[in-house]
Amino acid sequence: MKKLIIVSAVFCAASAFGGAALAADQMAGMMKTGAMDAASSKDAALTDAEVKKVDPSTGMLTLKHGALKNVGMPPMTMAFKAKDTAMVKQVKEGEKVKVRVESVNGTLTIVKLEKQQ
């Protein structure tokens, strides 16, 4: 009887962990598909932002930005690498801009920047 209980417990535990792993795999697949769909849309909207800091030596801009839906980021203030150093040179602290941020080789990068009028 003890062996039956032990075997049953092992079987139940294995089933629970296997189900959780399967659910995690399915969720990861859904997230990748959704992110790729959003990132592949070349006509995606730009996000409003304000330049808080310009660092030409590192090619970084600190932005107070709205939600970056394509990368799943809520509104916040954060530093981003600029894809092109010309972007860093064209803006000053306090200016309003519109940006497109994407993950480039695992780094959140400003790939498009427009000054607001």
Model pLDDT for residues 35-86, shown as the tens digit of each residue? 444 444 554 789 999 999 999 999 999 999 999 999 999 999 999 999 999 9
Distance CA 63, CA 93 (A): 9
- Which of 10-14, 66-70, 86-90, 93-97 shows the lowest per-residue confidence on average (mean pLDDT)? 10-14
The mean pLDDT of the chain is 78
Does one domain contain both 77 and 109?
A: yes
Structural domain including 17 reads 1-40
Question: What is the pLDDT, as a whole number, of residue 117?
Answer: 76
Residue 40 vs residue 108, higher pLDDT: 108
Does one domain contain both 55 and 89?
A: yes
| DSSP code for 84 | S
Which of 109, 113, 25 has the alpha carbon at shortest distance from 73?
Answer: 109
Band of residue 5 on the pLDDT scale cut at 50, 70, 90: low
Residue 111 vs residue 18, higher pLDDT: 111
Number of domains in the chain: 2
Where does the chain show beta strands of DSSP type E?
A: 47-55, 60-65, 76-82, 96-104, 107-115
Does one domain contain both 36 and 92?
A: no
Structure tokens at 7: 């075997």
